[in-house]
Amino acid sequence: MNKRVVVILGVVIIAAVALWLRGRNAETKEPEVELRTAEVAREDVVRSITATGILRTYNIVDVKSKAGGIVSQILVDVGDEVKAGQLLARIDPADTLSVYNQAQADLEAANAR
């Protein structure tokens, strides 16, 4: 009988410890996490990569203008793909117009003589 009492006492102690641990875990609830929601929308994803190295071009192209002057507006960005004949920049025509007007005046003066 003594052995039976020890077994029952052991089971009671194990049950008491299990209930105590269960109650302790119930008291220490983790704080609730705040949830934020947003509506789904389609957007462009911009990726940026930073790296070191050497860049080499596939083609080398000379860009030349038929007129001289100061560039007043650039119509493309670095890395844009362009086509033959596409306007890349606008040149301020003020200098060219003044040279043209002076030449026109000189021609009229020469014809008047």
Give the tens place of pLDDT for each residue, 41-69: 898 888 888 889 887 778 877 777 777 78
Using CA atoms, how far residue 101 sits from 17, 31, 71, 104, in Å, is: 105, 82, 21, 5
For residue 28, what pLDDT is reported? 61
The burial of 106, by beta-carbon neighbours within 10 Å (0-12 exposed, 13-18 middle, 19 or more buried), is given as exposed
Q: Among 17, 18, 20, 37, which residue's Cα sits nearest to residue 28?
A: 20
For the record, the structure tokens of 28 come out as 């220490």
Whole-structure pTM value: 0.36
For residue 61, what is the DSSP state? -
Both tokens of residue 76?
Answer: 């493309």
> What integer pLDDT is reported at residue 104 of this predicted model?
93
The residue that leads in pLDDT, 79 or 106, is 106
